[in-house]
Amino acid sequence: MNNRLTSFTRAGLRFDVVDSGPIDGPVVVALHGFPQTASSLSELTALLNARGYRTLAPNQRGYSPGARPRGRFAYRVSELADDVVALIREIDRGPVHLVGHDWGAMVAWSLAGARPDLIRTLVTVSVPHPGAFVRSLVSSDQLARSYYMGLFQLPVLPERLMLARPDLMDRALAGTGMTPDAIARVHSEILDTGALTGALNWYRALPFAARRAMSAPVRVPVTHIWSTGDTALGRRGAELTERHVTGDYRLAVIDGASHWLPEERPHELADIIVERIESVPR
């Protein structure tokens, strides 16, 4: 497919896509996390575009206005991964290079484990392999770091509180290292657009995650990136991730950076991504 992609559909849902860079360049699919959209990846994708890569950054399920089904069951990790499968098939360019940050990394892990035929290389940012994350809950302070995931399981109340008292959310995000500009985008792109419930449903659907998807080994070449200032994810999960990858694996640690790496350290991320891509023959 040699045309720019602005959207794609799956199961009656329409997803918005930011398609940039050389139209015939190697394809990098970039997945955003919570509570952000593809705009959080814009600096990173621009750097990849400058190096000759075409990037496709979708606004995922719950975030795209045309892809907000009701009910938490519709937000299972398997469904989120299958949305990305539909995007890859839409461009029909063979295996792609996959990058995911935060929840986007969780989707990327699931997709790479289930469909290695579609993925040439994988770079995950912040969130470790789901099997490693589960192990870290009982072998480190990760459970305490992830307290908010339990709160997000509550129906209705979290979004009501965030909408009624956005200052509380602002302080929580600022405490994790998110910049004022990024927090402002959370307001304009998530709170003000009705995307919050869909975004929270990613957490609410976790009880429906298939055990196989959580533990499947990943056979493609992988680089996992973790930052020492990440308040949400501890080092233990990053260290355990290697046990869940059977392909070539590298762990890249970025010192002094917060959880929000695509905006805080886009140049370092771009270097690591290109290094991983260039580690395999075209």
Residue 155 preceded by cis peptide, ω within 30: no
- Rounded CA separation 190/183 (Å): 10
Cα separation, 65 vs 58, in Å, equals 12
Task: Determine the Cα–Cα distance for residues 61 and 163; give it in Å rounded to an integer.
Answer: 20
Buried b / exposed e across 88-120, counting CB within 10 Å, b at 16+?
Answer: bebbebebbbbbbbbbbbbbbbbbbbbbbebbb
In the block, tokens 């990053």 appear at 238
CB 123 within 8 A of CB 94: no
pLDDT recorded at residue 30: 98
> Would you state the pLDDT for residue 135?
94
Nearest to 131 by CA among 203, 238, 254, 250: 238
Q: Tell me whether residue 144 is in a domain.
A: yes
* pLDDT for the residue 212: 74
pLDDT at site 214: 75
- What's the CATH number where 247 sits? 3.40.50.1820
In a domain, 150, yes or no: yes
Provide the pLDDT for residue 281.
86
- Asked if the structure places residue 260 within a domain, the reply is yes
Q: Which domain holds residue 54?
A: 7-277
Q: Identify the CA nearest to 251 among candidates 128, 149, 152.
A: 128
Please give the span between the terminal C-alpha atoms of the chain, in angstroms, as a whole number.
19
282 in any annotated domain:
no
Count how many domains the chain has.
1
pLDDT tens for residues 123-175?
999 999 999 999 999 999 999 999 999 999 999 999 999 999 999 999 999 99
Place of tokens 């892809």: 67
DSSP 157-193: HHHHHHHH-HHHHHHHHHHTT--HHHHHHHHHHTGGG
Tabulate helix, strand, coil % of the chain (nearest 5).
50, 15, 35
* 225 touches 197 (CB < 8 A): no
SS3 230: coil
Q: Residue 197, class by beta-carbon neighbours within 10 Å (0-12 exposed, 13-18 middle, 19+ buried)?
A: middle
- The segments of the chain whose pLDDT lies below 50 read none
Q: d(Cα 242, Cα 240) in Å, to the nearest integer?
A: 6
Please give the pLDDT value at position 114: 95
2 occurs within a structural domain:
no
Classify residue 1: in a domain, yes or no. no
How high is the pLDDT of residue 1? 54
Domain-located, residue 83:
yes
**What's the order of all strands across the beta sheet hosting 249-254?**
7-10, 13-20, 54-58, 27-31, 96-101, 119-125, 222-227, 249-254
